[in-house]
Amino acid sequence: MISLPTERLPAGGQEAYVVGADLGQEGWIRVRSDQTLAGLCFFGKAGSGGYMADITLIPNLSKTLTVPHVAQNSQWDTSVMICNPNSVATEITLTLVDVDGDAFPPQTHSLPPNGSGKYDLADLLRGTDGAEHVRSVEISASRGVAAFALYHDLKWDDGKSFAGISAVSPALLGWVPFGEAKPDTPVEIDTPVSTMYELIVDFDIPGMNVAEIAQEGGTYHFLDIPGGGHVTEVGKPQFPTVNRYIAIPAGATVSMEIADSASKEIKGYNIYPAQEALPDIADAPIPPFEKDAELYQEDKFYPAEIVGMEGPQSIRGCTVMILQAYPVQFNPIRKTLRVYSNIRVKLTFGCFGDDPTFDDWQAEMAACRREADETGELPE
């Protein structure tokens, strides 16, 4: 393996890098960053028989992948490339599927640690009837891998067409609705009751986006609720959260209860543990992977409570607390999520005297929230 210097991209910026031109051999490239990237990789070779094709950056490793379209006939050839960026050998199984959904006999291969393999459909289908009807390739692996197919036409009418086709993972679930909401619908927070003595807050959570992450020989899921945040305690499951600032009457005590909620359970999830942020220093080492092994061995839903309070603090002379909702609970042994599409919280204020300024504070708090929405920061 060859390490390259750390590079920096400005916000909204772009750069192109040429890698491996002098190596004289094939391989794979890992790109690590402290922010989400989008990009394209061109690959090929120069000279006689030269070609160039492209694939998008592959964001996650997966144990289950599908190349959605291939062809192997008198005109077209397809080669499947798979890389194993793990420190141990990985077993892979390729299953070719025809236009009717019927599978050919699976073939198993081994990839060495940090190795890669190229599998020509011409070889995989040699001596097999119906090869011209193959339309996709399913890949399963003992550890997370990345893959793409090189789809090319070199045999017919002097064709020289190349295309890179990324293998996609059915585990990259994308949008997972908690009800009937459309993808990326943000959280809605409403306060149908707001008085000096009582506040009711409704959290309406339409769903979440899910991505699969392969790390340290395990497969995890990163969950994101549009309009929400995340728990950031290193090593603990990185739960999505939804927060709301609540104005509190001066000197008041606050009691909280869940007035109503709606939930369901979904299986097959392993929440990714929160990691230390990448240091903002050139060439700094990447922090090691952290996981609370004891917590991930507990057969119970975590967190135990789906709402909490932080504070108090003061904003513009108004006493506020942060009402936190945790719409997702996780049982690591059962690999099960309990997701909440609606949470109604009732707050009751007590033990304070007459406070005629509370209505003014509520108005001021509304102004604070508007300013936060516009600037992304809370006012002093």
Contact (Cβ atoms closer than 8 angstroms) between residue 196 and residue 209: no
Which is higher by pLDDT, 203 or 183?
203
185 with 310, same domain? yes
179 assigned to some structural domain: yes
228 with 312, same domain? yes
What are the residues facing 95 on neighbouring strands? 138
Nearest to 339 by CA among 209, 171, 165, 188: 209
Structure tokens at 311: 């504070």
| pLDDT tens digit sequence for 118-165 | 999 989 888 888 778 888 999 988 888 899 998 887 665 566 677 888
CATH code for position 235 = 2.60.40.3800
CATH code for position 136 = 2.60.290.11
The Cα 233–Cα 236 span in angstroms is 6
3-class DSSP state for residue 370? helix
166, 185, 208: which is the final residue of a domain?
166
Contact (Cβ atoms closer than 8 angstroms) between residue 51 and residue 77: no
Which is higher by pLDDT, 298 or 128?
298
Nearest to 267 by CA among 175, 341, 333: 333
117 with 185, same domain? no
116 with 185, same domain? no
3-class DSSP state for residue 159? coil
| pLDDT tens digit sequence for 337-367 | 999 999 999 999 887 555 445 555 556 556 6
Angle value at C-alpha 161, between 156 and 167, nearest 5 degrees:
120
Domain with 253 in it: 174-375
| pLDDT tens digit sequence for 59-107 | 777 788 889 888 888 888 899 999 998 888 999 999 998 888 888 889 9
211 with 72, same domain? no
147, 166, 185: which is the final residue of a domain?
166
> In the predicted model, what is the mean pLDDT of residues 231-249?
92
246 with 125, same domain? no
178 with 327, same domain? yes
> In the predicted model, what is the mean pLDDT of residues 241-269?
91
Alpha carbon distances (Å) from 265 to 178, 195, 268, 304, 340: 10, 35, 10, 15, 9
The pLDDT-based confidence of 277 (bands split at 50, 70, 90) is confident
Does residue 4 surpass a pLDDT of 80? no
Contact (Cβ atoms closer than 8 angstroms) between residue 364 and residue 318: yes
Per-residue pLDDT, 380: 47
What are the residues facing 114 on neighbouring strands? none
Alpha carbon distances (Å) from 315 to 47, 220, 354: 67, 38, 21
Per-residue pLDDT, 344: 98
295 assigned to some structural domain: yes
Number of domains the chain contains: 2
364 assigned to some structural domain: yes
Lowest mean pLDDT among 14-28, 221-235, 243-257, 263-277: 14-28
The pLDDT-based confidence of 292 (bands split at 50, 70, 90) is very high
